[in-house]
Copies of this chain bind each other. A is one copy, B any other.
Amino acid sequence: MRHEHPGPALAADGTRRARIVVLGGGFGGVYTALALEKLLEKRDDFEIALVNRENYFVFQPMLPEVISGTIGITDVVSPIRRLLPRTMLHLRDVEGIDLERRRVPLSPGFRPHTDELEYDHLVLALGNVTDFRGLAGLPEHAMPFKNLGDALALRNHVIRCLAEATIEAHDVELRRELLTFVVAGGGFSGVEVAAELNDFVRAVLPNYRGLRKEELRVVLLHSQERILPEMAEPLARFAQRILTKRGVELRLKTRLAAATGTAAVLASGERIMTRTLVSTVPSSPHPLVERLALPKAKGRVVTNAQLEIEGHPGVWAVGDCAQVMTPDGATAPPTAQHAIREGSVVAHNIAASLRGGTRKVFAFKGLGKMGSLGHRSAVAEVFGIRLSGFLAWWLWRTIYLMKMPGWGRRLRVAVDWTLDLVLPPDLVQLRVGGSRGLAREHFEPGQDVFRQGELGDRLYLILSGEVDVIREEAGENRVLARLGPGQWFGEMAILHMTIRSASVRCVLPLDVLSLPREEFGVLAAHLPDLRQRFDALAAERQASPAPGAPVAVPLGVARGEHAVAFRE
């Protein structure tokens, strides 16, 4: 059922109002709508609709402060409704863009049907997305850092790691993994995340009984020779000195190649054992933009100097998803300050095309760059002047506070910063969201999927790779079987006992699908066939526990080439 959203309402004078649809609620989208709302004050001849998944605008520069709780969780974001009172907000995913029919299909809400939004003018402000494709294990095990949900998830995870390290004091290996935090990517975002994370774990350490400062490792991986490639070299060197002094381990000329649940795997093959890997690096064009048949450069939509897309009148692009040329022939960099100015040019030009008048050309050159290094230090290049340390930090705070949209938020952030001077960092772990259901996991050779004697909590299906099933008896390890794609394992502990009767170790890089015991139990209870198959499998495996014995898999499951169980 496709619900066509009703067309624009008529204006006060009875004429049809144009509808401007803005896709995306980042700097580009929100500032376009803000500028459009101002134009409505003079003449009420169009209506604005903004489509965004969340009901808030994230003030990205302050997002890393959520990690340490310096800023209240919701203070770093502003409700879009309040910023844009005259804009209709659609909290939806954009499911496609139909340039022919000038319509945008939206994802369903409470009822499972699609909405369609008709437009006269369309502003693409979709930004870019974190994209871990092509790096084994990153989609499953690396944490992105782009929106408020990511920041909160990281904060909660870090607090949980500290807590677990105090409880599992006797498990040296686990404790080391828990107390190592790896951030990949030495651009602004990676540096700010590493700095905040480092400040936070060191500040709250005294609250965790038995943890020592020397056990904490915050590692920043960067592929080039120095961090902050966006900045002049002396400032980058300054940043490196400050971070090192505060205990961040810099690993330069180091590239992340893969990830597992317990390690960051470097291109050199080295593994840094950790339960926390944040990756700020790979960003790709938004999948919707990728699918659009529009002129593109490096995945970004190419606009003309007026920010309209050639050959597509009424379609505009701003922000990180747009390739905008400045008059001097350079490309506008993907920063907030550029997106903000692009938004105001687009708004002016849309009004010009509706009401008549001359269009503007985008000609902003940028004011400078700033990056926070945490705890009262920063680096900045403003109007050609280079600053570092406390002064840069003061400038950073002042400028960003003033740039935050809305006085309410500014007041809240100012209060947060003041309280931060007298109160210790907050360490509430907001446990939210449910348990992992059906999940993909990645393992690297030598790594244990599970160990003999552990509780059986999940059932696994091999998608690619190989594992050995190993039983330890009388101090000796015997390989019971080698399993490959299409084969299941872990069913015995799930079906009959709670304790794993053997270990399963990765032999070839392994991708598995895993199902929690509870979900499997429910499915098996209502699908007797399924249950019978797994019972038969478990019985056969239990009957032939000799080393290298064949493991028949009477599952009717798709099997890959490696699936034939081997016999010595």
A176 to chain B, nearest CB (A): 12
A267 at the interface (CB under 8 A from B): no
Interface segment among A107-115, A125-133, A310-318, A362-370: the answer is A107-115
Q: Which residues of B contact A533 (CB under 8 A)?
A: 529
Task: Give the size range of A's interface with the partner.
Answer: 35 or more
User: Is A357's CB within 8 Å of the partner chain B?
Assistant: no
- Of A221-229, A337-345, A408-416, the one touching chain B: A408-416
Which residues of B sit under 8 angstroms from A92, Cβ to Cβ? 167
Q: CA–CA, A432 to B453, complex, Å?
A: 34
Interface assignment of A140: CB less than 8 Å from any CB of chain B: no
Please measure, in the bound complex, the distance between the C-alpha atom of A91 and the C-alpha atom of B178, giving whole angstroms: 15
Which of chain B's residues have a CB closer than 8 A to the CB of A423?
408, 411-412
Provide the residues of chain B in CB contact with A499, threshold 8 Å: 1
B528 touches A108 (CB 8 A): no
* Contact present for B438 and A424 (CB under 8 Å): no
Which of the candidate stretches A71-79, A231-239, A249-257, A469-477 sits at the interface with the other chain?
A71-79
B88 touches A209 (CB 8 A): yes
CB-CB under 8 A from A539, the residues of chain B are none
In the complex, the answer to whether B431 meets A434 with C-beta atoms within 8 Å is: no
Inter-subunit contact B6/A170 (CB<8 Å): yes
Query: Which chain B residue has the least Cβ–Cβ distance from A526?
Result: B461
Q: Does A377 contact B (CB under 8 A)?
A: no
Chain B residues with Cβ below 8 Å from A5 are 170
- In the bound assembly, the distance between CA atoms of A267 and B255 in angstroms comes to 65
State whether the Cβ of A171 lies closer than 8 Å to any Cβ in chain B. yes
Partner of A110, one of B74, B111, B168: B168
In the complex, A535 has a CB within 8 A of chain B: no
User: Would you call B109 and A168 a contact (CB within 8 A)?
Assistant: yes
Q: Is A450 an interface residue (CB 8 A)?
A: yes
Binding site for B on A (CB under 8 A): 1, 3, 5-6, 53-56, 69, 72-74, 77-79, 81-82, 85, 88-92, 108-115, 148-149, 152, 159-160, 163-164, 166-171, 174, 178, 207-209, 275, 408, 411-412, 415, 419, 422-424, 426-434, 437-438, 450, 453-457, 461, 463, 486, 499, 513, 519, 522-523, 525-530, 533, 555-558
Top 4 A-B pairs, shortest CB-CB distance: A433-B433, A437-B437, A1-B453, A112-B455
